[in-house]
Amino acid sequence: MKQFFKFMFASFVGTLLTLLVLLFIVVGMMSALITIGQKDQLKLKENTVLVGKFNTPIEDRSSKNPFQNFDLNKFKSATPIGFNDILKNLERAVDDPKISGIFLDLSGISAGFGNLEEIRNKLIEYKASGKFLISYAETYSQSAYYLASLSDEIYLHPMGGVEFKGMAAQTYFIKQLLEKAEIEPQIVRGPDNKFKSAVEPLIYDKMSEANREQTQQLINSVWDNFVQAISESRGIAIDDLNHIADELVLTTAEDALRLNFVDKLAYRDEILAVLRQKTGVNEKDKIQSVSFSKYATGKSDKASLSRDKIAVIYAVGEISSGEGSQTSIGSEGLSKVIRKAREDDKVKAIVMRVNSPGGSALASEVIRREVELAKEAKPFIVSMGNVAASGGYWISTNADYIFADPATITGSIGVFGVIPNLKGLFNNKLGITYDKVLTNKNSDFIDVMEPLTPFQHQKIQTEVVRIYDDFTSLVANTRGLRQSYVDSIGQGRVWSGIDALELGLVDELGGLEKAIAYAADKAGIHEYKISELPEIKDPFQLLIEEMSSQSRMRSVLKQEMGEYYYYLEYMRSVLNMQEIQARIPFYMVIQ
């Protein structure tokens, strides 16, 4: 009996503690929801410093999910600010009399080079206001320094440094892993798609010469634009910058100071003194500051009263059939959004922000058709972000005008199919066998539990060739090019935005704001509101999705595995491919 009460008491205490923990979590999350409800109530004091500390990945669009990256230790949300709100903040800060300047507190920054380019261009516009812009870091990564290089004053910790070593594109290959697991990746691609390297990690243990050629040209183009910008900002010759990168000259903070990469070496307390001096604050008084995330919750004084709208549609992630999500493109979901904007009489023009490596060719065509219909009704402009390639380019083709950033990865006009043969894994590794009966010779087409027959392989091959012909024909017709020319620059090859402009694949270099201005001009409107689509889901619905076992497991794996998580996702994507694919090389990391 004593043991019974002992265990009953322990169970009661455990249940009580669990309830208390859940209560604290709910209180913390409700606090985050209240913060959302306080939008437009942000009150700033005079001489406030806007602080940019981008220590979470910058996505195309700010999440309204207060439970994303929720910190259970501090009971507060660490929801990252999106690229869209960063641009709005910088524009708003120009005319905000309460903002005296911007302090970029930088070390690392996780963002694609396309988005970085647009943020940097917006900082150039901000600087024209005459308000100060200063940067500080213990160590600057290359991406962080790209933004910092614009600053009026660049400060660096005396024991810190500046990473400046050039760019490298790295791809992991899993051929040997698949061999050990006895998984056979059955690849079907067009005979001329030599640059369609998305499947190379499955069948090779290093880059093919064609892939090496296209990747080298891609990173050279991005790097040339990178050093050109820094040369103009810091007055350092491009040849000198390349020498510094080649020889890894920047080994110490003193090197960075001597070579004019930074203006002064300083500790954080000295930076605070600089900020006090710039804002007229006494030594013992608190510096008034506001983070980019919090500043984004305020209401802009420049909000238009016009009934006219420009719809900005975010097409972000891999393309597949279905509804999609905030991080993936579903053909049904995105098509409904485009159709809604087309049928809304208040929407005078549409800008689709594409940041996608592609995916299902069929799903891409479903979306493209909706773009074609929308274009017939009103101006339809595409703004390409970090990546708009393969399927991401496919859905862009029917736009009236295409903008790309210099560092946008685009093109990759090509298709392929991957059908994994899992027979060896199940039979030899797991000890699982199977048997079946058929009514016809190919009733089991396609079966991942056994290899394709030559006849089945040829059937898929014919379909791949047909879809590639459709792709090149589509690009030729919409871009006013010869199909033979499109084939010569296609074959799965990726290009930078700069190269894509020269090749005729895009119309102009520029970012999202330039695309919006162009759309307004084409629509003949001067006053308008921006309507961002798809609409953000209700926070409680997002909570339910966040608490799902699959979502939670992915979140934990991503946190624990870091950059290697993306290769796990690669394996998952390969095993889940159901249709002919139009994708760029998977998870190529440019450092």
- For 65, 128, 401, 501, the CA distances from 167, given in Å and listed in that order, are 34, 30, 30, 22
390 is an active site residue: yes
| Beta pairing class for 581-583 and 358-360 | antiparallel
Sign (positive/negative) of CA torsion 203, 497, 579, 328? positive
CA distance 359 to 380: 22
Catalytic hit among 143, 356, 390, 412: 390
| Beta pairing class for 358-360 and 589-590 | unpaired
Q: Count other Cβ atoms within 10 Å, centred on residue 50.
A: 26
Give the closest residue to 389 by CA, choosing from 505, 247, 215, 507. 505
CB 313 within 8 A of CB 352: yes
Q: What end-to-end distance do the CA atoms of the chain give, in Å?
A: 65
CA distance 2 to 5: 5
SS3 of 427, please? helix
Q: Give me the phi and psi of 415, to 5 degrees please.
A: -140, 160
Tokens standing for residue 327: 């991080």
Question: What would you report as the CA-atom Rg of the chain, rounded to the nearest whole angstrom?
Answer: 26
Tokens standing for residue 300: 């802009």
CA distance 530 to 351: 10
531 is an active site residue: no
Catalytic hit among 88, 196, 278, 309: 196
Q: Which residues are catalytic?
A: 196, 390
